[in-house]
Structure 1
Amino acid sequence: MKIFVVSLLHSTERRERVSQIFKMSGYHFEFFDAVNGKDGLPPRLAEKVNDKYRTIYRSRPLSAGEKGCFASHYLLWEKCLQLNESIVILEDDFSPTEHFCDAIDNIDLLIADLDYLRLEKRSCKWVTKDEVAGFERRFLFDNSCGTTGYVLTPQGASKLLSKSDQWLCAVDNYISENYIHNMHSFNLSPPAITALHDMGTYIQLEPKQRVPIYFKLTRELNRFYRFVCSSISNQRFANQLKKDKHL
């Protein structure tokens, strides 16, 4: 299975660190040049950003870094579909755990019958689907907070791409909103990777834009709507998982 590491072209120190990791582990990988949001997005992607909607219903407009992050992952979803095979997507601040090699060695088994598999830990409500190759595969009720590493199938890529004509939130939040695209997120336990938070993110941080206070009501109503939709979708899927386990 192909492994892609998302990294800004000028991030030489990070690239050297990643190269050393894979040199020691013996796995082949490719760097995927991340889109630098501060330099602007390709025209066909720039038109997908809907900052007006975000200002009214979500919060501030997406930062340049968030746009670049979404664009980078979006292009890899397209690549997954073009290759017509599952791929591993890692960001350049990932760190392998002691279980990394076991996970990569068994990655085809671990992603089998799933659309998406998160490789890092996520602390949230979850339901165990099964155990494969010494790992628990857990359905996550909340898969936001990071895209440091995951496995994606062509079917999963198709689902993500089909509902991303407009970018209304950060990419990790979009992946988590399964009621929109019907792609449910699972992760591994124990995790295969962690994120080196002391390195920061490759997303270029910038001051947040202030939005008018009169949009507070619309944002809160939209937040409640998303919460209800997510809760219903997650509980239905979790109930089906539990039912399938007892068949």
Structure 2
Amino acid sequence: MKVLVINQDADADKLALQSRQMDALGLNWERIGAATLDTITPPTDHKFWRRWHRIMTSSEKVQFASHFSAWQRVLHSGQPGLIIEDGILLASGIHEFLNQIAEMTVPQHITIQASDDKKLVSKTLDADVPMRRIYQDYTGSAAYVLFPLGASKMISRAAKVVVAPIDAAISDARDLVSFQADPALATHMDDSDTKNRFALPETVKVNSNNRLVFRCRRINAQLAKGINFLAYRPISVYRTVSVATKWPDLGLKK
């Protein structure tokens, strides 16, 4: 399975580090150039970007567009791909995990990222692979496996339903058959990456006519999450996911 590394042109150091990591782990990979405010399509002031329950920031739009390019790559290849941002460190067991899931037909999306947030997941692990079904999640978009059917669903959802910050875009896609690697096999190399992903200067203004629309969308989204949580709570557990203990030696402190 190929690893698709989303990398901004200005982050040559991170790309070099990813190259070292991929060599150390024996992974086949390619770079996906991150979108910029100059290359993003449609432009950031287009109504395409105003369908979530608040106005997205420029950083969020660029980040979404970058992941969208990776989804298109997966769909066109007809093969699942591991999509990661360039600040991600992968565990030593990632190669074996990718081999285990490569031919699976049930999953459409598998997040492999560690998180301090609790997730609503199945009570037991999958019979064949160390992962759990996800019923409700909020994070994990910096490192995930996407299958062609999952890519098709995400692309269609962006065109027909809503565009959102990448964490919400994936976690709110409830028709996506999602799993969580357990233990998690990816984490951020630097804690600052969790806060500064695709950081750009922002000037976001909302006129009074739009405030009510966004508020109604936000209320509807929270109601949908609440209903989903209650529906799956009897067959699931609400917990954090364990993290792998073995990581490649890239000269980083973890």
TM-score (norm 1): 0.79
Query: Where do 1:90-239 residues align within 5 Å?
Result: 90-108=84-102, 112-122=105-115, 123-128=117-122, 130-132=125-127, 135-142=130-137, 144-165=138-159, 167-179=162-174, 182-195=175-188, 196-199=190-193, 201-212=196-207, 216-233=211-228, 235-236=230-231
Please name the residue that 1:29 is paired with.
29
SS at match of 1:67: helix
Distance 2:94 2:215 in 1: 40
Distance 1:168-1:30 versus aligned 2 partners, 3 A rule:
closer
Structure 1 pair 184/227, CA: closer, same or farther in 2 (3 Å)? farther
* TM-score (normalizing by structure 2): 0.77
* Contact 1:6–1:92 under 8 Å retained in 2: yes
Percentage identity across aligned positions?
Answer: 21
Give the paired residue count: 232
Determine the C-alpha separation between the residues in 2 that align with 1:236 and 1:29.
39
Higher helix share: 1
Deviation, 1:46, is: 7.8
Rounded to whole Å, the distance in 2 between the matches of 1:86 and 1:240 is 28
CA deviations 1:157-216 (Å, max 9, x no partner) are: 11111121165421221111124xx11432111101002332454413323524346755
Instruction: Describe the SS at the equivalent of 2:9.
Output: coil
Which SS does the other structure have where 2:132 is aligned?
Answer: strand
2:41 corresponding residue in structure 1:
42
Equivalent pair of 2:58/2:202 in contact (CA under 8 Å):
no
Paired residue secondary structure (1:151): strand
Asked whether the equivalents of residues 88 and 187 of structure 2 are also in contact (C-alpha less than 8 Å), the reply is yes
Change (3 A) 1:26 1:177: same
Amino acid at match of 1:42: T
CA distances 1:100-120 after superposition (whole Å, capped 9, x unpaired): 3442342326x5411100010
Which structure 2 residue ranges, 5 or more long, are not aligned? 238-254
Q: CA deviation at 1:65?
A: 2.1
Question: Cα RMSD (Å) of the superposition?
Answer: 3.0
Q: Is the 8 A contact 1:138 1:186 kept in 2?
A: yes
Q: CA deviation at 1:94?
A: 0.3
For residues 51-73 of structure 1, the C-alpha deviation after alignment (integer angstroms, 9 at most, x for no partner) is: 3x45xxx22x3222222211111
| Bigger mean CA deviation after superposition, 182-191 or 123-132 | 123-132
CA contact (8 A) 1:80 1:87 kept: yes
Give matches, 1:1-12, under 5 Å.
1-12=1-12
SS class of match (2:198) = coil
Letter in 1 for 2:17: R
Distance in 2 separating the partners of 1:47 and 1:221 = 21
Selected match of 1:69 from 63, 70, 80: 63
Uncovered stretches (5+) of structure 1, i.e. residues with no partner:
243-247
